[in-house]
Structure 1
Amino acid sequence: MASSANPTRDDFAAMLEQTLGGADSFEGHVVWGTVTAIENDLAVIDVGLKSEGRVPLREFAAPGQKAELKVGDEVQVYVDRVENANGEAMLSRDRARREAAWDKLEAEFAKSARVEGVIFGRVKGGFTVDLNGAVAFLPGSQVDIRPVRDVTPLMDIPQPFQILKMDRKRGNIVVSRRAVLEETRAEQRSGLIQSLHEGQVIDGVVKNITDYGAFVDLGGIDGLL
Structure 2
Amino acid sequence: MTRPRAASERFVAQLPTRIRSRVEVIHSPILEIKPLAVQVHADEAKGLIFTSANAVNAAMSLDVSRKMPAFCVGPVTTGTAKGAGWDARMVGATAEELIANLLKHRPQSPLLHLRGEHSRGNIAERLTESGLAVREQPVYKQHLLPLTDRAGAVAEGNEPVIAPIFSPRTARQFADIWVGSAPLWLAAISEATAEPLYSLDYVRLKIAKEPTPKKMRKAVKKLVKHAMRVEGGEATD
Q: TM-score range by the shorter chain?
A: under 0.3
Larger fraction in helix = 2
User: Greater relative contact order (Cα 8 A, min sep 6): structure 1 or 2?
Assistant: 2
The normalised TM-score by structure 2 is 0.22
Structure with bigger gyration radius: 1
User: Structure 1-normalised TM-score?
Assistant: 0.23
